[in-house]
Structure 1
Amino acid sequence: MTAMLIGFQVLLPLASLAWLFFMPAGSLVGFVLQAAGTGAMLFALARVAQWALPVWWLPWVYGALWLGVVLFRALGERGDPRPVIPEGAWGWTGLAVAVLLCAVGGWHGARALMGCSLPPVAVVDIANPFGPGRYLVGNGGSNTVVNAHLKTLDASVERFRPWRGQSYALDFFGLGPFGLRADGWRPADPSAYAIFGAALRAPCSGTVVAAEESMPDFEVPEQDPVNRLGNHVILRCSEAEIVFAHMRNGSLSVVSGDIVAEGDRLGEVGNSGASTEPHLHIHAQRPAAEGAPPISGEPLALRIDGRFLVRGDRLTGTGE
């Protein structure tokens, strides 16, 4: 996993920028397509990949480098005009690679942008559930390109049915100094992660219908695939339920049956349940049928402070 991440989010962008800088196409059409292809690929990576690792602002660095290289090459060779079309096998090969990058990057970038639109389901508006801090969306949006949770909409897969309610869920990482999510690359200690222990508050007034705080917080990357929610709170607000999962052991301020007002403390983010590192999972659903698994209700979309958040978006918590 680490090797794949480094390959796609570090080596591939740097290699494409090096190709554009050190081996610019010799023709006008070739260079335009080379610049467009590398730009499309960098944009797609920025929108599709999770940037909790290495860091959320790295795509902006790549974008600035891309713009600088394009301007340098375009303005620096004005006195030596290129032919319009490629010459020779090498020039046409470069053109083919550029066209491929345009197609692949353009397709995935467009799909990621489509995931920013609201899905065709009812939308639940809630307030910001976080206390102080800064947070990054790891999963969120209306298609599988930007939200891995959406695969559980596939009713033909039996093992997904008990989790169907979480299909439009959001996953949040914390952002610490310099935008880093943790003190280290992937430390085992959950307390080394910026989001661990972050305060959670009721984003709406309602009734607590489930609360669990006895499950352990695991070291990274251990998890509990059976008790997937881990420590959790399910808050019923009007006709919808808001589910908070992977909370911290012993941190809950509520029990089942409590009536809470918007802004009341619920607990803290932890690393319990099916969580490979500390993060908050939050989703909205209709209440599950009587006797059915607790997160098998009809999935609903969430808007937080009026925003439909997608992968890569950032959210600032509320102050004390």
Structure 2
Amino acid sequence: MNELVGELLFLQVGLPLAVIAMNTFVPSSTKTALFLRSAAILLLLMYLVLVGVWLFPPWWTPYLLMAVHAVGVVYAYQSLERKNEGTRRIVKRTEVLVSTLAIAAICTFLWPAIQGRSPPSPLIDLSMPLGPGNFLVTSGGNSKTINAHFLTLTRDTELARSLRGQSYAVDIVGLDRFGRTAEGISPVAPQRHVIYGTEVKAPCSGSVALTRSGVPDMPVPKMDRDNMTGNSVLLACGDFYVLLAHLAPRSLTVTEGDSVTVGQTLGRVGNSGNTAAPHLHIHVQREMPAKNPLSGTPLFFTIEGRFLVRNDRFAVER
């Protein structure tokens, strides 16, 4: 298990379980206080549904935590003892105040995640860039809370400026029938990740403006920061460009200057470049500057009319 997955397990599973256990077994001063602190925990779990990165355990984990929380609330309610009715007024007020402040604090973090799910305007609509399978969006949306690519807008560094075109990108991983993204817990071999080898298709008709090939896959979770996009294809489609990145070695089927049509195979998903695990990176930009081809103006986009945001799931039929 790599360090990232360990951190996610602690923050997204361990801590919520500890809070749920506290709410279940630590007596509350009043029914009102129990309601408020239970509501705060529910909001925290809703935050995890929207913002959590569910590489492991599966995406349905926060819903399971909600079910456990519901059972815990019932148990805590039934366990309220009459002696709590004699609890000092200051204790009651303190618990209510702390719970209310917790609700307010969680809402301040939750609101950007909710806002980030609203599609902005204008939008470029693309066709499906992936072959058959079930998929999960790990980064995407109109907010830095749910889209890590926004960092290229907030960081004023040479690297961030050179990658400005990816600021509204979407990252997609695969899911098996159990909702897992890989066989086991973040296996080192890229081939054990569900999306690895999935066909990548042209999401628009145009020409191949730029390709990158010959970059090896990286063992998970190591990243190749010298080759940020890894094996990749940049398409020129009318007045915008589309990048599809982190493809598998020797999988590209097009070269610069080729004409492409919607649905044409471009390559297969791999784990090359600056990626901690196999996924498809796709972004749209307005122009292709000669010095830094990926520093164009970023554009928001939809895929077959859907604005994809973190933790969205979708299926592609055969």
Quick one: distance in 1 between partners of 2:83 and 2:114?
Answer: 36
SS in structure 1 opposite 2:105?
helix
8 A Cα contact 1:215 1:231, kept in partner: yes
8 A Cα contact 1:38 1:98, kept in partner: no
1:8 maps to which residue? 11
Quick one: distance in 1 between partners of 2:81 and 2:28?
Answer: 16
Task: List runs of 5+ in structure 2 lacking aligned partners.
Answer: none
1:91 Cα deviation after fit: 4.3
1:207 Cα deviation after fit: 1.1
8 A Cα contact 1:37 1:100, kept in partner: no
Farther-moved stretch of structure 1 (137-146 vs 151-160): 151-160
2:175 maps to which residue? 175
SS in structure 2 opposite 1:316?
strand
Which of the residues 26, 39, 57 maps onto 1:23? Answer: 26
1:282 maps to which residue? 282
2:298 maps to which residue? 299
- Deviation readout 1:58-113 (Å, 9 max, x if unpaired): 01111222233334545x47996975x96356545543442343123212111110
8 A Cα contact 2:166 2:284, kept in partner: yes
Cα separation, partners in 2 of 1:52 and 1:124, compared to 1, 3 Å: same
1:194 maps to which residue? 194
Trace 1:78-97 onto structure 2 (pairs within 5 A): 83=85, 87=88, 91-97=92-98
- Deviation readout 1:215-252 (Å, 9 max, x if unpaired): 11111122211210110011121211110010000111
TM-score w.r.t. the length of structure 2 is: 0.92
1:184 maps to which residue? 184
8 A Cα contact 1:141 1:308, kept in partner: yes
1:113 maps to which residue? 114
8 A Cα contact 2:230 2:272, kept in partner: yes
1:32 maps to which residue? 35
What one-letter code is carried by the residue in structure 2 that aligns with 1:248?
A: A
1:311 maps to which residue? 310
Cα separation, partners in 2 of 1:155 and 1:181, compared to 1, 3 Å: closer
8 A Cα contact 2:25 2:76, kept in partner: no
2:62 maps to which residue? 59
Quick one: distance in 2 between partners of 1:163 and 1:136?
Answer: 24
Quick one: distance in 1 between partners of 2:232 and 2:295?
Answer: 15
8 A Cα contact 1:129 1:317, kept in partner: no
1:177 Cα deviation after fit: 3.7
Aligned residues: 315
Quick one: distance in 2 between partners of 1:103 and 1:158?
Answer: 38
- Root-mean-square deviation (CA, aligned residues, Å) is 2.2
1:118 Cα deviation after fit: 2.2
Quick one: distance in 2 between partners of 1:52 and 1:221?
Answer: 12
SS in structure 2 opposite 1:179?
coil
8 A Cα contact 1:30 1:86, kept in partner: no
- Deviation readout 1:13-71 (Å, 9 max, x if unpaired): 11121122212423132112111111111111221111122211101111222233334
1:152 Cα deviation after fit: 0.8
SS in structure 2 opposite 1:70?
helix
Task: List runs of 5+ in structure 1 lacking aligned partners.
Answer: none
Quick one: distance in 1 between partners of 2:159 and 2:129?
Answer: 30
What one-letter code is carried by the residue in structure 1 that aligns with 2:272?
A: S
What one-letter code is carried by the residue in structure 1 that aligns with 2:238?
A: S
What one-letter code is carried by the residue in structure 2 that aligns with 1:40?
A: L
Cα separation, partners in 2 of 1:161 and 1:51, compared to 1, 3 Å: same
SS in structure 1 opposite 2:174?
strand
Percent same amino acid at aligned positions?
Answer: 37
TM-score w.r.t. the length of structure 1 is: 0.91
Quick one: distance in 1 between partners of 2:266 and 2:101?
Answer: 50
SS in structure 2 opposite 1:110?
helix
